[in-house]
């Protein structure tokens, strides 16, 4: 079974199948850092931009922030193929549902659709997803659907392999009642820290702010990322 998160790979450099190099046998993974924060009036979401097959960076400018509907996005971590497939399926279901209802869909509905699929196919899938967006009823919301198919709403959520390194930063720096700019700053710093330490995260930091007015996307290039140490 191919290793996904680049930890626990077999030690042999030359495996029995010499026709295909080992890195080509690895699953394409969005070993990743993703996060989302609620604020009054919307949400801010962020992700790094690295997609890997083993140690090779297949895409260094990936967009892991995927639109599901006009005001609903998802942040994808885990297997690139699995998360793209699930996101496509949910985009279809949600679009259909929204037309039937004749009104914009709720973030909760989108999150539940993700959860249903991730739970039903939990053995086959490897997908950790954060669903975030804005709707008229409950404003900005963040729902996290980790691997296994649980769902829980949180004011701030991080995910992916790089998230382990920033739980401390998140717990100590998140304050409820931040403005949009403060949230964007918070996300940029968190992503920078994770990308610095996690080998599977890197590239640029992609951010997006979703409010009633719509979407505002930002990219923080590698050299513009905040630096926390001189070494």
Partner 1 sequence: MISLGQLVFQVEYAMKAVENSSTAIGIRCKDGVVFGVEKLILSKLYEQGSNKRIFNVDRHVGMAVAGLLADARSLSEVAREEASNFRSNYGHNIPLKYLSERVAMYVHAYTLYSAVRPFGCSFILGSYDQDDGPQLYMVDPSGISFGYWGCAIGKAKQAAKTEIEKLQMKDMTCRELVKEVAKIIYIVHDEVKDKAFELELSWVGEVTNGKHELVPKDIRVEAEKYAKVCTTTTSLLHGISVTWVQNNSTFKVFFPHFMVTN
Residue 46 CB burial class (10 angstroms; 0-12, 13-18, ≥19): buried
Q: Identify the helix (H) or strand (E) that includes residue 191.
A: helix 180-197
| Residue 123 CA from chain centroid, whole number | 20
Dihedral of alpha carbons 155, 156, 159, 163, sign: negative
Judge contact between 215 and 202, C-beta under 8 A: no
Concerning whether 33 is annotated as a catalytic residue, the answer is no
Query: Which residues, other chains included, contact 35 with Cβ-Cβ below 8 Å and sequence gap of 6+?
Result: 45, 46, 47, 75, 130, 156, 157, 158, 159, 163, 166, 170, 187, 190, 191
Task: Determine, following the binding rule CB under 8 A, whether residue 211 of this chain makes contact with partner 1.
Answer: no
Cβ 113 to partner 1 shortest distance, Å: 7
Examine residue 118 and tell whether it contacts partner 1 (CB under 8 A). Answer: no
In terms of CB distance, is 39 or 143 closer to partner 1?
143
Task: Confirm or reject binding of residue 141 to partner 1 (CB under 8 A).
Answer: no
**137 contributes a contact to partner 1 by CB under 8 A:** yes
Annotated catalytic residue, options 30, 32, 51, 52: 32
Cα angle, residue 142 at apex, residues 138 and 147 outer, rounded to 5°: 140
* H or E element in which residue 89 lies: helix 80-101
**Residue 95 β-bridge partners:** none
Q: CB of residue 157 vs partner 1: minimum separation in angstroms? A: 18
The CB-of-132 to partner 1 minimum distance in angstroms stands at 16
Figure out which of the listed residues 6, 59, 84, 108 binds partner 1, where binding follows CB under 8 A: 108
| Residue closer to partner 1 (CB basis): 109 or 188 | 109
Please tell me the count of residues contacting partner 1 according to CB under 8 A.
Answer: 13
Nearer to partner 1 (CB atom), residue 103 or residue 181: 103
- The nearer residue to partner 1, 7 or 101, going by C-beta atoms, is 101
Interaction of residue 207 with partner 1, rule CB under 8 A: no
The yes or no reply on residue 150 touching partner 1 (CB under 8 A) is: no
Active-site residue list: 32
Residues of this chain that interact with partner 1 (CB under 8 A) are 97, 100-102, 106, 108-109, 111-113, 115-116, 137
């Amino acid at each position: 079974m191919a290793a996904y998160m680049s930890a626990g790979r077999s030690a042999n450099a030359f495996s029995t199948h010499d026709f295909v190099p080992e890195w080509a046998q690895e699953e394409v993974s969005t070993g990743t850092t993703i996060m989302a924060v609620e604020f009054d009036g919307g949400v801010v979401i962020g992700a790094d931009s690295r997609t890997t097959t083993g140690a090779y960076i297949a895409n260094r400018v990936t967009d892991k922030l995927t639109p599901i509907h006009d005001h609903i996005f998802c942040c994808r971590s885990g297997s690139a193929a699995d998360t793209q497939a699930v996101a496509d399926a949910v985009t279809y279901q949600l679009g259909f549902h929204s037309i039937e209802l004749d009104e914009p869909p709720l973030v909760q509905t989108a999150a539940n659709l993700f959860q249903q699929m991730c739970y039903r196919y939990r053995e086959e899938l490897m997908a950790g997803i954060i669903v975030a967006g804005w709707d008229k009823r409950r404003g900005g919301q963040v729902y996290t659907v980790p691997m296994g198919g649980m769902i829980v709403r949180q004011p701030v959520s991080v995910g992916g392999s790089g998230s382990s390194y920033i739980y401390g930063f998140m717990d100590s720096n998140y304050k409820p009642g931040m403005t949009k700019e403060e949230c964007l700053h918070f996300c940029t710093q968190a992503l920078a820290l994770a990308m610095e330490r996690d080998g599977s995260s890197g590239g640029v930091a992609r951010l997006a702010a979703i409010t009633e007015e719509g979407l505002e996307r930002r990219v923080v290039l590698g050299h513009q990322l905040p630096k926390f140490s001189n070494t």
